[in-house]
A and B are shown apart, each in its own frame.
Chain A
Amino acid sequence: MVPFAQCLENLGYQELRAERIDTLQVNLGWRCNQACRHCHLMAGPERPEQMERETVKEVIRVARRWSIPAVDLTGGAPEINPHFRYLVDRLHGLGVHILNRTNLTILLERGHEDLPEFFRERGVELICSLPYYQEETVDRLRGPGAFQKSLEALRRLNRLGYGQPGSDLQLHLMYNPAGAYLPPQQRDLEELFRRELARHYGVSFHRLYTLLNMPIGRFQDFLHRSCNYEGYMGKLMGRFNPAAVPGLMCRFLISVAWDGRLFDCDFNQALNLGLDKPLPQSIRDFDLQALEHRQICLGDHCYGCTAGSGSSCGGAVVR
């Protein structure tokens, strides 16, 4: 296997650098009410990692100090963090665009039932995990009952105006394959999801994003257990698409871990692949000038973001 950095070098990239920082992607913790079989962070109900109040305050300080346009909240289930609402409120007060990555089922859990209204009042953009439009596939990946709960949450959000045609309350779905294969073309799959979810369940949404399963965390365990690892990595490398490189998400965001450490992306966070020294290592030392054109730390998992149409937290990179 050709190392990813070598593959880029063959294309003329001596290094890969960030273009700017449009987004702080904040991982509020690895605790989750679900334990999905593809999760790159191995998140679950027993995980202790949670962002503390002081770190949350640092995120707010950085967003204000450096006028960061967008903050993208993720986890685990970010809503579980006890400081979640405090963070959203403060960011909203600053006029920051807030994106929240929700697994949907958390919105039905006790103590979180009023979150849809909370999101609506603050104009939070929602990116909702839904790996397929059929129950069997979703429940296999996310646990028994996950599909019906997700639908119930989506219907609640739809009733509030989220995901409705012409509505400013943005609701997008996030698809990932249910195994060791690449995602379909985003546009085609979006059409299929829209038709099937409307026809069978009366659910609507704005956009569908496709995300490739990264060969790390629980998904990597699956690949090894099922003897798919080599084949999958070979496929990612074989489908390397140079056109995806300029749009890689690490070039436009920085990832803040639950403990405040900085990473190029959530995947590097999962792998504990920190920023190169002497770059600032923590949100406490954040310095936009030092970080916005930083050199990206690469690994072979990066083939996952450049295969086919490319993959990112905003879906396909090449459209």
Chain B
Amino acid sequence: MLKLKHLVVSTCVGTLLAVCSTQLVAEETVTVLHNQQDQFIRDTWDEIRVDFEAQNPNITVQLDFMDDDAMKARLPTLLQSNAKPDLYWSFGGGNYRVRAEAGLLADITDKADRLRANIGSGAMSAFEVNGRLYGAPYRLAQVGFWYNKSLFEQAGVNADTIETWDDFLDAVSTLKEAGITPIAAGGAERWPLHFYWTYLAMRIGGQDLFQSILADEASFDNEHYVRAGEELRRLAELDPFQPGYRGMAYNEAAGVFGNGQAAIHLMGEWDIGVQTSESESGEGVSGDNLGYFNFPMVDGGMGDPSATLGGVDGWAFTSGNGSDAAVRWLEFFLAPEQQRKLAAAGIIIPVANGAAEAVEDPHMKQIAENIANSSWHQVFWDQALGADVGGVINDVSAELFAGEISPEEAVDRVQQAWDFR
């Protein structure tokens, strides 16, 4: 009995003390939810967190990890619960827009002066919805052709001479004739295939057409996007992919490329790491052997060949959580100094002004320049147009490659989904 009394008293005192101390120091905790699997990147983030906490002793930052798939599945409910984080990792695009419009995100437009001063306006605009800001970008990504230099050499193909789509198709045929599987593709997941159709549509149709489609002034069902399907069919008829590509997921295809079993892989710069870790040797296509070239222009296309397809990924504030402390953390995390540090470590292509110079990896450097010189950096269509229309675009791209639908049917189905969005 005495023991119990003792316990009760000590607990009461303890709680009282705890309550007092938090009120005195007014400690604030900023919770951040992310899906970053790479331990090296997480460690680097953690160093930044320690620096921040040293400078802001009354703010604690908590970086919480959740697996990518789990996060996608849980976010819709999490965002409506009290357990939501202050900030979460976002790919921007349609999902971000829908959530902002639904009031699930915090409007930080009035607190964003320092963020705006540090970050390029092009990247920033990816996190604006109707002129209001609900988050900020963290890194850029571009999709392009990764290739295996020794396989190209073996087949006698020079990547530097590939300027048009026709050149590219010639290169694929030459590789094929040399007995090399030209391209690796993760057809089972479909989105790796949609890069082909959407890049072709960008090259052929151009930016103005895409913008007027978004504004409902034009239709996906237009001659340019039909031609994109026709050009895609020309590639498909060469039978360019590894056998059984329709049953392989993205990471399996990255492994095929990393093993040197295929010469080309159309993918974002994250593929440098993935093709390495998925290869049998664990080394992938490494160092000087790995090459990169941009998606070529298409003869007669209206699109600017400098336009890039890729991502602008960043962080979003959940509703009710755009506190000063959270904004201050993001300002610190996205400041040129930290961005330079991350860029130098080969982790990101930075969005902060002046940080791009710090990129050292030659491929990352080239991509950073591509995006900087791009007249139109378009976010992946399957993200930009939302899960629903994006899903249909992925479907029709896969079916076009399989020859199961015509280019006309493809645009028709995308427009149908767009009308009924």
**Are A and B bound to each other?**
no
- Residues of A whose CB lies within 8 Å of any CB of B are none
